[in-house]
Amino acid sequence: MFNDKISKLFFTLNGVVCISPANLKSKQLCYRDAIFLQFFSVIPYIEDMESPVQKVILHENLERIDDLMEVYCHLKNDDDKLQWLFNLPQVEENLTLFPPSWIEALDSTSQSALFALFSISPKEQLAQMDFRDEAALDFFRFVDELKKIEAFYEPIGGILGYQRAILKLVHRAPKEEEALWESPPGYDLENIGQEEILAGLEVMPRLFEIYPVGGAGDRLNLQDKKSLEPLPAALLPFLGRSLLEGLIRDLQGREYFYEKLFGKKLITPVALMTSQEKNNSTHLKALLERHNYFGRSKDSFFLFEQPLAPMVSKEGNWSLNPNWSMVMKPGGHGVIWKVAKDTSLFSWLRERGRDVGLVRQINNPICGLDHTLSTFVGIGATNEKGFGFLSCPRLVNSAEGVDVLREEKEGKKWSASIINIEYTDFAHHGIVDEAVNGTGHSKYPSNTNVLFIQLDALAQKIDQNPLPGLVYNPKNGAAGRLESLMQSIAEEFSASLETPIKGDEWKKLPSFIAYNSRKKSISVTKRAYVEGEKIHETPHGCLYDYLSNMYDLFSSCQMELPKLASIEEHDIESPPFLITIHPALGPHWSIIRQKISGGVMAPGAELDLELAELEMRNCTIDGSLRIRSADLQGRCQLRNVCVKNRGVDWSGSGHLFEGEMSRSESLDITLHGCSEFVAEDIELEGDCQIEVADGERLICRQSKDGVEFIKEKLDDRGPLWSYQIDASKQIRIQK
C-alpha cells in the first residue's frame, strides 16, 4: 500500500523506471529497477518492508550468486578464477570506474578478491567511492581487508560464498526434517558421586582453558571513566575485578586445590580469543601486563584474534564507506575453532601435554562456583567424550538457546547427537517451546556456552566443518553480518545407532550434557541496568545470583544470615549482606564447610575473605570484616570472635557489582607472605587495620586492660590445613 505522495512519485518517475503499485503486487519488477529505487531512497517509504520489492531483490540476487558459485567452485586454479572473474560483465562494468594504475598495482590475489566484490556490487554503489589520487592508499588498505575476508571464508567460497550464505539465510524457508527432538539425558552435577568429583581434579594436568573475550559489550555502556573511550565486555568490573580476572581466579582456586591435594603446582595454559572491536586486543594485552599476567607466566597465555566480518544488507549490498572502508563487526564466537587451528593454538597446547579443554564465556562469572567446572571436565575426560555441554533449567520463552537430543532416521539406522538450537531458530526447525510438569520450565534446557572439548576429536571435526552454525545477524534491520555459532560444532559429534536411544544408551554418544542448578550454571552480564526494568542479565542481576549462592553456602556452614529477598524485590544498592570469597578458600563447598562453621551475619554486614588458609568458628559479624592474603600463604584462625563496627555506608557507595563501597568503619586484617593472625573469645570493635608481617604470628586476646596483641616468630611456615582423600573418596582437611 502506498500513500499519495509516493504514488505520485512513482508515476512521475514512470518514464524512467517502469513501476507502479500494480507492478509491485504482481512482482513484475526487474533487478535494475529495484536497485534504482533502493539508491533513490524510495524503498524506505514503502509501508510494507517485507514487500515484493525486497523479495524480488533477494530472489534475483540469490539466483545470480548461485549461478556464479556453480562455476566458481569448479575452478581449482587461482589464475583461472581470476580470468573468469575478470570476464564477468558486471566486473568489466565496475572496472571502468577505477584508475587503471590502481588495478595494475595489485597482485593477482588482491585482484581476485577485488573482482569478487565487483561481481556482487552494483555500479551505482561503487560509483560513490573516492577515486581521487590521494585516496589510493585507502584503496590499497581496503583491498588488503578484502584479501583477508577471501582467505578466511575460503572453506565456503570466499567473498562469493560469504554473500551466498547471507542471501540463503535471509531467503530460507522452514526446514523440513523428520527428526525426534527430545530433552537430552545426561549427568546430574548436584547428585554426582565422589569418584566423578575427584576425576575432575585428577585430570587437571591435561587441562587447558579457552575464553572468548572479544565481545564488544555494546549494551553494557562500558566506558573508561577518564577518557570515555568505549571498553570491551571483558573489562567490566565485577566484585572489584574485571570479568577476565574473575575467570583466572576461578582457575587459580582449582590449581591451588590440586596442589594441596596432590602436592604438585600447576599453571594451566589459557587461550584468549580477542577481537579488533573497541580495541579489544589492545585493552586485553594492557590488562594482562598491568596485572603481571595475574601472577602467571606470560608464556602460559595464548592470544589469538577473532576476525571481523563485513556488514551486508538483506539485499546483498555491502556496507561501504566512500573513503574505502567497510563497516565490520566480529564474526561470531563460532570462528574460534577455525582461528584456533589457523594460529597453531592446537600445536601450542599439544607441546604442553594438554588435550582436554574447558571453554567459558566471559560474561558468565557464576559457573566457577563449587565443583561445577572441575566435575564437568572430569566427566568428559574419564568417559572419553569429544564434546560436552554444561546445562541447566530454562524458563519457557526465554531468549536463550537450548540443548536438544536430535535423532534422525538415516536409511535403516538412526543418527543421534546432542546439539544447540538458538531460540530464534525454533520455528525454522519446528520446535515448540513448551513447559513440563507445570513448573514454567521448558522441555529443553538452557545452553550456557560452557563447553568441554577433547583436542584431537575437535580438530577432526573442524576439518569437516570449519565454520559451524552459520547465521545472519542483522543490526537495527539495516545490515548484518554472517556469524558462526561456537556450540554448533556439536552437530559433528553424532553416533549411528540401530534404534532411537533407550535407557542408558545416551552414554554411547561421543558428546554429553551435564546438568546443574541454574544459579550455579549461568548468570550473565549482557546489558546495563535501566531503572524500573528487571535486573535479569545485568551485572546487578549477576550480583544477586552470586549473593544467593553465598547465602546457600554459608547457611550450609550453619551460619545465620539475613534473608535474601526475591530478585523482583531485591534492593540493588543495599543488600541484606555482602559476602565475597577467594575461590581458593574451597573451591569445593565441601571444603569451605570444613573451614567455616557457625556464627551470625548481622543485617547489612560485610565479610570479605581473600585467603585460603582460614579457620572460622562461631564468629559474629556486625559491620565489616575483611581478611586479605595476597599470595594465599597467610593463615587466619578466628574462634568465638565478635566483630562490631559501623561497616559499609550503603547509601554512599557506588555500584556494588563493581566493588565500589564506602566504609564508615571496618576491621581489615592484611597477611603478608607466610604469616598468621589468631583471635579467640574476643570482641573487636570499631575501625581497625591490622597488618601481620611475613614470618610473624600475631595473637589477639582479651586481657583485664582490654584487647592486647602479642607478636611471635612463626616457626611453622607450612599451611594451616592438610588435604587428604579418605576411604570413601571424600576429601577431608585437618590441621
Q: What is the pLDDT of residue 179?
A: 85
Judge whether 632 and 672 are in contact, CB under 8 Å.
Answer: no
User: What is the spatial distance between Cα 184 and Cα 199, in angstroms, rounded to a whole number?
Assistant: 23
Q: What is the pLDDT of residues 559-599, one digit of tens each?
A: 999 999 999 999 888 999 999 999 999 999 999 999 999 99
Q: What is the CATH number of the domain that holds 275?
A: 3.90.550.10
The more confident residue out of 21 and 665 is: 665
Residues 673 and 556 in one domain: yes
Cα maximum dimension of the chain? 106
For residues 543-558, average pLDDT: 98
Residues 338 and 476 in one domain: yes
Share of the chain above pLDDT 70, in %: 92
Please check whether residues 567 and 667 belong to one and the same domain.
yes
Q: Each residue of 196-255: pLDDT tens digit?
A: 999 999 999 999 999 999 877 778 888 888 888 888 899 999 999 999 999 999 999 999
Residue 705 within any structural domain of the chain: yes
Give tens-digit pLDDT for 468-480.
999 998 876 679 9
For residues 128 and 158, membership in a common domain is answered with yes
The residue among 171, 199, 218 that closes a domain is 171
Q: Which three cell numbers stand for residue 246?
A: 574473575
On whether both 602 and 546 belong to a single domain, the answer is: yes
Out of 171, 206, 241, a domain closes at 171
Who has greater pLDDT, 735 or 610? 610
Domain shared by 225 and 298, yes or no: yes
563 and 689 share one domain? yes
Ramachandran category for residue 41: left, alpha or beta (phi over 0 → left; psi -120 to 50 → alpha): left
**Phi–psi pair at 411, nearest 5 degrees:** 65, -125
* Residue 180 forms part of a structural domain: no
Position 640 scores a pLDDT of: 98
Residue where the block lists cell 561497616: 647
**pLDDT above 80: residue 46:** no
CA dist., res. 276 & res. 484, Å (int): 17
CA distance 42 to 53: 10
Is residue 425 one of the residues assigned to a domain? Answer: no
| 543 domain residue, yes or no | yes
pLDDT band at 50 (very low <50, low <70, confident <90, very high): low
Same domain, 275 and 167: no
Global confidence as pTM: 0.90
Cβ atoms of 340 and 441 closer than 8 Å? no
In a domain, 445, yes or no: no
Domain end call among 137, 171, 205: 171
Same domain, 578 and 661: yes
More confident residue, 164 or 30: 164
How far CA 507 is from CA of 17, 418, 504, in Å, comes to 64, 11, 6
pLDDT above 60: residue 56: yes
Do 63 and 144 belong together in one domain? yes
Q: How many beta carbons lie within 10 A of that of residue 179, not counting itself?
A: 16
Q: How many domains does the chain have?
A: 3
End-to-end, the C-alpha distance of the chain in Å comes to 81
Lowest pLDDT segment from 149-153, 184-188, 478-482: 478-482
Would you say residue 633 lies in a domain?
yes
What mean pLDDT is reported for the chain? Answer: 90
| 300 is a domain residue | yes
Q: How far apart are CA 605 and CA 666, in angstroms?
A: 10
User: Which residues constitute the domain of residue 690?
Assistant: 539-734
Q: Are residues 649 and 598 in the same domain?
A: yes
Do 462 and 607 reside in the same domain of the chain?
Answer: no
pLDDT digits (tens, 9 = 90+) for 348-370: 999 999 999 999 999 999 999 99
Assign 210 to helix, strand or coil: strand
Position 18 in a domain:
no
Mean pLDDT of 5-30: 36
User: By the 8 A CB rule, do 174 and 431 touch?
Assistant: no
Q: How confident is the model at residue 7 (pLDDT cuts 50, 70, 90)?
A: very low
Three-class secondary structure of residue 721 per DSSP:
coil
